Structure 1
Amino acid sequence: MDDPPDVETLVAGLNANSESARKYAVFKLQGLLADPSFADAFIQGDGLPALRECVLAASGNAQAYALGGLVVLLELDMGWEVVDGEVVEKAVELAVTHPLVNIVRNALTILVLVVSRPLNGASDYVTAANTGFGAIRPALDEWPTFLESLVQRLSASDHALCASALHLVNALMRDAVANGGENEWPKFIKRLQDLGVIGAVGMLMRGDAASDMSSPLAAAILEFQGLTKIMLRKWRGVKVNTEISEHKRALKTVHILSRPEKFEQTAEDTLDQLTGRKSSRRHHPEKWRRLGFETENPTWEFEETGYLGIMDLVDYARRNNDSYHKIFLEQAVQPREQRCPLVRASLGVTLIMYEHFEVDETAELEAPVTMGHTRGISAGDRFDQPRNLDKIYRPLLLQWGRLHTATLNAFLRLWKLSGAGLEDFYKIEELIRIVVERVIGLAPRRTEIGKIEEDMRTVTLETARAWQMDGLSEVYEDAWGPHLVQVREQLYHESLQFMKEQRIRCMLQGSWFPTAPESSSTAVAWRFVRLSPTRRYLHYQTYPAKTYENPTLDELHEKIDLNVVTSVDSNVSASEPGATAAAAAAGASTASTTSTIRDSVRAAPPPQPTTKISILGSGPGAPESVLLDLYPSSPDLAAEWLDGLLLLLNQQPITKSTTSMIQMMEEWGVRLRMLNLRWEDVDWQDLEMRVKGLDVGGREVPDREGVDEEFWYAMENER
């Protein structure tokens, strides 16, 4: 391998008249300048003027190499003395007009470094005139289509070119927000948005190229996303002040777009006009409250949202001009307490979105994500790719205005569907918070904004409430952990005990059963079966027909001692409509513990047209035999007696009817407990007392007023 040329040879090549000699020199130079010692020697050898001349006058690959060499020097914070207005203008010209990708890419990178150069840098050449947006402003006057071409570069097929263009967009945005003044940077940002930068970056976020987290493009995309949050935070920090013309104009826009009815003048107002005296009542006394403000002094209501809140409100009014006016027409005929305060709802949606996208959790404005076009983010350092890409990239954040509009429309619709009133405002607000978390928060990064708008438009009140309860359960599961498991276990046993008492009470009242299947050709007699108050015997008697009144216990001359019952054979769970395998499995698992239960579900027989319950038992030394057959006439009666018998024998119920009721009571019990608990401020000792059922104070004890004689307490009974 040939030895690399020395500085003197390279400088001579840069100054040569031969195009091939200059091309060779800048090609070699681009690689050698990465060494700071060589770069310093090159500068000391008076090589900068020759390199600058190649940047300005060379063409083709020679110019691309010269631009690349200058990039390497600037990244080392060297060579800034040659980056004057002529070099900057040349870079802008090349970025706008040149067809070669490698030239445009290096020209854009030089502009990124110029704009990103700190004003307080160590070099004496750093001034306000050659850094930031001010450094390229004169060149933009010569090339007014620069910003448009820059945004168009974001759609280029060359990903490195896209990264360079986006880095420059980021640098310009960052400088505008940091140094552009309160009135200038919003105009510049809006200009970029009008040129389509939001759509272009959104496409990059959703594309395959963004999946490589170590690429310069990924770094540029994440920086743009962070800058978007910084701008939102900056807008929120601006206090609304009607003394500022722009703020006053925004409030006036909100009022005018509502198309208020002409205020009827009083006789005093008419007299004022005739006499030329200034009227004291030029506006409706509820000019602002009509729109949803709480008072006629609207500025204080933007304390939490700042100017961001009024921006979102104006944007909504403009996007929904006709429906915005229609909302107030509909509300005019409603009682005041049923009107949805639109402005208050809009501000609430702004805060919900602000919290959802974690806008405050953003890097500060000082340092960009990357300074050079070759730097990216190591995939192993910060991200687990590609599994978490949906959490890393948030393209929907860029569609802030459309998201706000869709969410506010959902707020108004759910308000109307629920029949809410003013006292329910916070309930609907929390419901919308859940909807945002589900619809927006769970959307993959490739989801289009139109799909989100459709989901917001079609989400039902029932679905939103179901999400709310699911979210409540998840929150408390996370907050309480094993303590909530104890609550569930306690509630399960309470629900099981409740169903046991309910089933046994049905057996204590007694029921009629045919003595043979109803499909049988034989004459069907009827048998009345009743559990004794001591719960130790089943009394029964056969009758030729049902009687109007149920027989008393003394009239039932036959009985079965439950102590001799060894098993219950049944096809109830197989014939019961909607029976599940889970119920069958529960029955099978309980049967294996004491060998007292056998049900035909374990053998998985086909459904039978006749429901049958067989009670089997045996005496000392005697084989097991059928003690009594029952043919329930309905699924409910079958569930009551089969599960009642199982529960009497300390076994688990197996029918879907009973198990579903137990599960429902357990779930609602957990939810009611959670709604009563203040999990955000209760301590662990208080929690343990609640779990154990101990008195924690502050609860009103219910009385028996309005409770009839059927009210009962579950108590242990001796058998």
Structure 2
Amino acid sequence: MSSHLNGDALRPRATVANGSSTKTLIPTNSVTTKDGVVKVRIDPTLMVADVVKQLVANLQIKQPPSDFALRDEDDELVTNENLRKMIKSKAKLKLVNSALVEAREIHEKLLLREEKSFRLALFSLQRYLHEEDFANEFLKRDGVRILVDVITTSYGNTLAYALTAMKNLMDLEYGWAALDSNFIFKVVQIIASPQSLINVCRPATAILKRLVEADPASAPGPLVASSSRSPPAAPPGSVYRYGFDVVFEQMRKEPGLLETVVSRLGTADTALALNSVMLINSLLAHATDTWWEVFISQLERLNTRKAIIHLMTSHTIEDLTSCVLDFQGNMARLIYRKKTTLVEPDVEETHAAALDYIWTNSHLQVETSPNGTPLKWRQLGFASENLSHEFSEAGVLGLDCLKYFVQSDPEFFSKVVQEQNSRPSQRQCPLARASNEVVELLSEYWDATSPVFQPFFLNFYKVHALATNFFLQMWNESGAAIADFTRVVALVRSQVKVALRQEHLRPWHEMVQDFSDCEYRGVRDRQMKELEEEDDLLSKIPVRNLRAKLYKESKEFVRQQRIHCLLEGAWFLNAVPVTAPASRRPARPWRFMRLDNSLKHLHYVDSQSKFPVRSGLEDLPERIDLALIIEIATANCALPSDGGGGSGPPPLVASPLSFSLLTSEGSLADAIAPDVSRWADWTDGLNMLRRDSGHVSSKETADFIQALTEIGLRIKLLDLSGDKVEIPSGLTAGPPPANSDFFFSDLYDPQ
């Protein structure tokens, strides 16, 4: 049935040019109902509820208008925000059940468990839960408990549908606080099972990640602190009541889980690999002191870094780049934490065991000094027998690096220490001290967050072993003595910069050659040229610490500037992925995007041409939920082809100024920026807004942060040099007070 309807809600009103006067003529939309198709003209100034009310009245439908909603042919819900777009594009609409009715019907089908309708209801549920009105209605009907029951008792595709529905429901910030430890353990079992299908593992992994991130400390708004020493407690009913400890307790009941997740980094299914990396990142970012050592040792035992490197080098697509950079950032925090953790062999069994392993493989005997003092660790190159003090700068990282150096070739280690101990004391290379110094050099080199993949950094222990061997080589070839230790350190620092340059572009074997295939004379000559160009002041520890502080401040300043650019909004060209058919073209070539003040949604409008966009969001009817974005892919889109004559359209060539906003289900936007500055503003700004991210992805932003850091550093140093302040190379803490008979006086300023 086809007819034309008129009424207060559906009245003609659009423009047709006629000389100097104009008339308004609204496009005609078709609306499919259960009785057929009707043609209507919808007033775009009305609310959707009013349009539905008028439709129901004109069609003489007996049910109340609240039972109905409008969707387009792709099942997208018509809302007040997208109604004008639907009218303008003459979208084919459908009069369908409202969220309330749909939730009620799906709820009934899930309870009945009649096979065909049950699976169809689950399939529809996945999509509808993205819509907040439906989700709220589903939650009112005890939907979470029903989904948990389905997940607990199902398998195969039915389980996949139920898990995906739960994952989508958990995108909300409320409504699922009743999930208990039994449910978490069930999800853990599903992920750990080798028999689980790929489409089951993907949503299950995403659910576990969301539970890890639902940490009381991550809850939006003010939190209720349980005590000064404990993490904040979640408010009543908040979903932020889980976190690392709650999830890891269940993970420990399934010892093979972490191994399975790491093994899936090598899967050919990109989406599953992506989910696995994201879960590992969330665990790393939220790990607490309670299980920190256990969790990190498991990751190290499973060679997770090696799996990440293989993942990055084996995939040519951009989807995984952001997650790998996040992992790299987590590793940087891990390295920093280890470096600042004291070595306490009298307290920590793992520290004592590592030192015992190092000493045993030296094959040395404890000697005694002429005054009867035992000489054990000094034979390995430490300055004293107090190992907590010896590792005070390098921390547990220094201990781990020295242990790895021994493990990589125990026979070589024994040979070196015995050879050094056979020399006069002034000519012995202090191997342990050299190892700790190399840790300092590498930490200094990799101090800043990088916008590019750093496979050498992820092989920190291996690079440390290579650089320590290089230290030994320079010591021997230069005939160095103890007084020359600082000079050899300077040589190694120079070589580190050369060997580790452009690591995202160079193969591993070239870096190895830079450390192994060089001679003292060549390294010394190059270093002398570098010293002519470099101020020795910049290498001092206080200045390096100042630079690190200024870097953090500069990064936060740039973050605020990038977000301000997003709030201002900008025009972009709509693009197509290079993997798309060359003949594909966007319906409208231009898109204006603007971030809202809540920093949660990106509002936009597509247009045939650019036009002045008013402030606010009135001109931007469409929006993108930033919580759905899992990747800001770059340099992966192209302008549509203009055709290629008789031979067909030419292949698409990716623009370096392109980027895509990717979700687990595809791209929400493919755009090309007008210039490099705009591209950097938006790609880094969007990355910095993501809940599980914060890395810098463009060279432009990284250079900007670095430039601000160096300018700030120079200004600070000018202040110091103007006052002729002497900057020490390091500070040594004095001895502790002999007793507690002292107090801190109050400083009194008479002014």
Q: Under TM normalisation by the shorter chain, which class is it?
A: 0.5 to 0.7
1:626-650: CA deviation from partner (whole Å, max 9, x where unpaired): xxxxxxxxxxxxxxxxxxxxxxxxx
Which residue matches 2:500? 440
- SS of residue matched to 1:294: coil
Other structure's SS at 1:71 match:
helix
Does residue 409 (structure 1) correspond to residue 469 (structure 2)? The answer is yes
* 1:7–1:77 Cα change, 3 Å: same
Aligned to 1:471: 530
Per-residue Cα deviation, 1:220-267 (whole angstroms, up to 9, x for no partner) = 21221111111111111212334324334444443333222364899x
Deviation (angstroms), 1:342: 1.0
Structure 2 vs 1, CA of residues 115 and 145 (structure 1 numbering), >3 Å: closer, same or farther? same
Q: What CA distance in whole angstroms lies between the structure 2 residues aligned with 1:218 and 1:356?
A: 22
The 1:320/1:157 distance shift into structure 2, 3 A limit, reads same
SS at match of 1:293: coil
Asked if the contact 2:214/2:241 (under 8 Å) is kept, the reply is no
Question: Counterpart of 1:344?
Answer: 433
Q: Does 1:185 align with 2:292?
A: yes
Residues 129, 165 of structure 2: 8 Å contact kept: yes
Pairwise CA distance, 1:74: 0.9
SS of aligned partner of 2:112: coil
What SS does the aligned partner of 1:80 have? coil
Rounded Cα–Cα distance in structure 1 between residues aligned with 2:717 and 2:243: 55
User: How many pairs does the alignment contain?
Assistant: 434
**Per-residue deviation, 1:161:** 0.3
- 1:461, 1:455 → 2: CA distance? 12
Structure 1 match to 2:259: 148
Q: Give the counterpart of 1:196 among 303, 308, 315.
A: 303
- 1:331 is displaced (CA, Å) by 2.2
Give distance in 2, aligned partners of 1:62 and 1:285: 69
Once the two structures are superposed, what CA deviation does each residue of 1:340-396 show, in whole Å capped at 9, x if it has no partner?
Answer: 1112111110000111111xx46xxxxxxxxxxxxxxxxxxxxxxxxxxx9511122
Whether the 8 Å contact between 2:184 and 2:250 is mirrored in structure 1 is no
Q: State the Cα distance separating 1:62 from its structure 2 match.
A: 3.1
Q: 1:48/1:435 Cα in 2 relative to 1: closer, same or farther (>3 Å)?
A: same
Quickly say closer, same or farther: Cα 1:124–1:227, change in 2 above 3 A: same
Q: Deviations over 1:285-344 (max 9, x none)?
A: 433332212234343232221222222222223323222222232223323222211121
TM-score, normalising length: structure 2:
0.53
Deviation at 1:436, TM superposition (A): 1.0
2:124 is the counterpart of 1:28: yes
Counterpart-to-counterpart distance in 2, 1:224 and 1:292: 35
* CA shift in 2, pair 1:124/1:22, >3 Å: farther
- Decide which of 239, 245, 249 is 1:137's aligned counterpart: 249
Distance 2:510 2:336 in 1: 27
Matches within 5 A, 1:664-675: none
Contact persistence 1:22–1:62 (CA under 8 A) = no
- Aligned residue number for residue 331 of structure 2: 228
2:120, 2:716 → 1: CA distance?
72
Cα distance in structure 1, aligned partners of 2:463 and 2:137: 56
Match of 1:17 in 2: 113
Calculate the TM-score normalised by the size of structure 1.
0.55
Equivalent runs, 1:311-710 vs 2, <5 Å = 311-358=400-447, 361=448, 392-445=452-505, 447-448=507-508, 451-472=510-531, 475=534
Which residue does the alignment assign to 1:302?
391
1:101 is matched with 198
Does the C-alpha gap of structure 1 residues 160 and 296 become closer, same or farther in structure 2, counting only changes over 3 Å? same
Pair 1:118 & 2:229 matched: no
- Is the helix fraction higher in 1 or 2? 1
- Do 2:174 and 2:239's aligned partners in 1 also have CA atoms closer than 8 Å? no
Find the aligned partners of 2:336 and 2:200 in 1 and give their Cα distance.
37
1:510-545 C-alpha deviation (Å, 9 max, x unpaired)? xxxxxxxxxxxxxxxxxxxxxxxxxxxxxxxxxxxx
Q: In 2 relative to 1, CA 46–3 (structure 1 residues): closer, same or farther, beyond 3 Å?
A: farther
- 8 A contact 1:88–1:136 mirrored in 2: no
Q: How far does residue 29 in structure 1 lie from its aligned partner after superposition?
A: 2.0
How large is the Cα RMSD of the aligned pairs?
A: 3.4
SS at match of 1:154: helix
Per-residue CA distance 1:655-700 (angstroms, 9 max, x = gap):
xxxxxxxxxxxxxxxxxxxxxxxx999979x99xxxxxxxxxxxxx
TM-aligned CA distance change 1:241 to 1:104, over 3 Å: closer
Distance 1:81 1:60 in 2: 26
The question of 1:169 aligning with 2:280 is answered yes
TM-aligned CA deviation for residue 93 of structure 1: 2.5
Give the whole-Å Cα distance in 2 for the aligned partners of 1:80 and 1:164.
21
Give the distance between the partners of 1:90 and 1:308, measured in 2 at CA: 36
Answer yes or no: is the 8 Å Cα contact 1:198–1:398 preserved in 2: yes
Change (3 A) 1:165 1:428: same
Instruction: Tell me, yes or no, if the aligned pair for 1:91 and 1:111 is still in contact at 8 Å.
Output: yes
How far, CA to CA, are the matches of 1:99 and 1:243 in structure 2? 45
| Contact 1:84/1:130, CA 8 A, preserved across alignment | no
| Counterpart Cα distance in 2 of 1:94 and 1:401 | 34
The residue number in structure 2 matching 1:259 is 363
| Deviation at residue 70 of structure 1 after TM alignment | 1.0
Uncovered stretches (5+) of structure 1, i.e. residues with no partner: 267-279, 363-389, 480-678, 688-719
Separation in structure 2 between the aligned mates of residue 333 and residue 57 of structure 1, nearest angstrom: 70
- The AA in structure 2 aligned to 1:195 is L
| 1:402–1:680 distance in 2 versus 1, CA, 3 Å | farther
Which residue of 2 is the match for residue 44 of structure 1?
140
Kept in 1: contact 2:367–2:376 (CA 8 A): no
Q: What CA distance in whole angstroms lies between the structure 2 residues aligned with 1:332 and 1:126?
A: 63
Match of 1:289 in 2: 378
Residues of 2 paired with 1:90 and 1:285: CA distance?
56
Residue 473 of structure 1 deviates from its aligned partner by: 5.4
Matched position secondary structure for 1:349: helix
Q: Are the counterparts in 2 of residues 14 and 22 from structure 1 also a CA contact under 8 Å?
A: yes
Partner of 2:685: none
Supply the AA of the counterpart residue of 1:430.
Answer: A
Higher strand residue share: 2
Change (3 A) 1:297 1:308: same
Matched residues in 2 for 1:125 and 1:218: separation? 36
1:429/1:52 Cα in 2 relative to 1: closer, same or farther (>3 Å)?
Answer: same
Task: Report percent identity of matched pairs.
Answer: 27
What's 1:158 paired with? 269
Contact 2:175 2:239 in 1 (8 A): no
Structure 2: distance between partners of 1:180 and 1:4: 52
Distance 1:263-1:131 versus aligned 2 partners, 3 A rule: closer
The 1:124–1:335 alpha-carbon spacing in structure 2 relative to 1, beyond 3 Å, is same
**Which structure has the greater CA radius of gyration?**
1
2:175: which partner in 1?
A: 79
The equivalent position to 1:70 in structure 2, one of 162, 166, 179, is 166
Distance 1:235 1:353 in 2: 14
Q: Are positions 1:89 and 2:185 aligned together?
A: yes
Task: Please give the per-residue CA displacement for 1:404-460, whole angstroms capped at 9, x wherever unaligned.
Answer: 111100000011111222222111111111111111233335623x55334322222
| Matched AA of 1:427 | R
Whether the 8 Å CA contact 2:325–2:451 is kept in 1: the answer is no
Unaligned stretches of 5+ residues in structure 2: 1-72, 74-93, 220-233, 539-713, 723-751
Task: Decide whether aligned partners of structure 1 residues 146 and 333 sit closer, same or farther in structure 2, where only a CA change above 3 A counts.
Answer: closer
